[in-house]
Amino acid sequence: MGAMTDEKTNGSDERLSYEQARAELASVVERLEAGGTSLEESLALWERGEALAVICQRWLDGARARIDAARPDPAT
């Protein structure tokens, strides 16, 4: 069941901005920390949080690569 959900959301997830993914991740963390969810819902939230963390990391890695590419080569 989780794999089907992941397949459906992957395309739309790739269009999330860093800020959108970070905001949703913060919401997921708040819900997990608040407790009161079933085990199944907690697992789904955890999986969603992991996917959002990957999206955020990709954005950060891309930003770092752009910064590194824009810097002059220190060897020259």
Convert the pLDDT of each residue in 44-76 to its tens digit. 999 999 999 999 999 999 999 999 999 987 776
Q: Residue written as tokens 């949080």? A: 49
So where are the chain's domains?
16-70
Our CA angle for 57, 59, 60, nearest 5°, is 65
CA 25 to chain centre: 7
Output DSSP code: residue 74: T
Please report which confidence band the pLDDT of residue 8 belongs to, taking 50, 70 and 90 as the band edges: very low
Span 7-17, average pLDDT: 72
- pTM for this predicted structure: 0.75
Confidence at residue 75, expressed as pLDDT on a 0 to 100 scale? 72
Pick the CATH number of 16-70 from 3.40.50, 1.10.287, 1.25.40, 1.10.3470: 1.10.287
